[in-house]
Amino acid sequence: MTTANDLPQPTIAIVGYGSQGRAHALNLRESGFDVSVGLRPGGPTEAKAKADGFVVKTPAEAVKNADLVAVLTPDMVQKTLYNEVLAPNMKAGACLLFAHGLNVHYGLISPREDLDVVLVAPKGPGALVRREYEIGRGVPCIYAVHQDRSGNAEQLALAYAAGLGGARANVIKTTFKEETETDLFGEQAVLCGGASALVQAGFETLVEAGYQPEIAYYEVLHELKLIVDLFYEGGITRMLEFVSETAQYGDYVSGPRVIDASTKARMKDVLTDIQDGTFTRNWIAEYEAGLPNYKKFKQADLDHPIEAVGKQLRAKMVWLAANASQPDTDEQAAA
């Protein structure tokens, strides 16, 4: 059985210092790795990384002598970052690591032939990755190998996952294809797109029927945390144990009326667009055009009446300020 002591100890360059980048860098350093951080001079996170005690270099300098380079910048800057900074400066035979496989899977990045190319993706936001590590636990990680030129790529990925604390929880092998496509689908159909649209539609239905917006907010958004926490702790089984029989019966008879076979068919359409590259091509075109639709869609969400109602109600929930999550954004222009 492989133990943490059997795994390699590469020198690591973290490129990007957003929520994930900071969590990775701190966890890996505290796990005994030699970690440096690559950021553009004067960028928004340079001071934070220095305050955390890291040697901060330009990305080009940081990667030159690193055995492993972890790319923890937003998806849409990674192609330019790789082509202009990483590929010309990474040493021969190094390992290139991603936390999401989009750029490699869809061919936006074609890694150098001499490099090991791996993926390690913690299944949680950076703040949680850090917090769980600090209290002696860990967030489950999935990992994949795209190129194994050294014969040691899988061991490097496992060492990195262990350094994050993932081995304390669970580490599962996957592929770049599976990680990318399931991650995009989960975000779009359930976690972000699906959940947001469901909450907004529920709010609108109640308000349009004459109910108070404040009551509607509590019923369709505020109480969602209770259900999600139960899902997280023990799946649907635990949720059913803790809600009333009335709620259970409503689940059984009304859930399928809202999320029916046609909903699942549309989910399959979403998945098809992800699998055949349509979503990524559209996202690249949107990004290159200056994000006009993205900005319009985002503003529409920010302007939805549920947001104004929620802001007023949350202001009375004094406990929220201390526990507020920080955005899980990454260094926007590490190059």
- Confirm or deny that 126 is annotated as ligand binding: yes
Answer yes or no: is 19 a known binding residue. Answer: yes
Which has the closest alpha carbon to 10: 166, 115, 85, 110? 115
219 is in an annotated binding site: yes
Q: Is-contact 179 161, C-beta < 8 A?
A: no
Helix axes 278-288, 292-302, angle to 10 degrees: 90
Look up residue 6 and give its DSSP letter: G
Token pair 């490699």 is at which residue?
Answer: 104
Q: Is 223 annotated as a binding residue?
A: yes
Contacts of 20 (CB under 8 A, 6+ apart): 72, 99, 122, 125, 126, 129, 328, 330
36 labeled binding residue = no
* 183 has binding-site annotation: yes
Task: Check the annotation: does 166 bind a ligand.
Answer: no
Separation between Cα atoms, residue 290 and residue 199, nearest integer Å: 29
Q: Please indicate if the annotation marks 113 as binding a ligand.
A: no
Name, in order, each residue with C-beta under 8 angstroms of 89's C-beta and a sequence gap of 6 or more.
Answer: 59, 60, 61, 63, 64
288 is in an annotated binding site: no
Residue 100 known to be catalytic: yes
Amino acid at 151: G
Q: Is residue 45 part of an annotated ligand binding site? A: yes
CB atoms within 10 A of CB 211: 13
Catalytic residue among 100, 105, 222, 304: 100
Q: Which active-site residues does the annotation give?
A: 100
Residues tagged in the binding site annotation for NADP(+): 17-20, 40, 45, 126
Residues tagged in the binding site annotation: 17-20, 40, 45, 126, 183, 187, 219, 223, 244
Residues tagged in the binding site annotation for Mg(2+): 183, 187, 219, 223
Residues tagged in the binding site annotation for substrate: 244
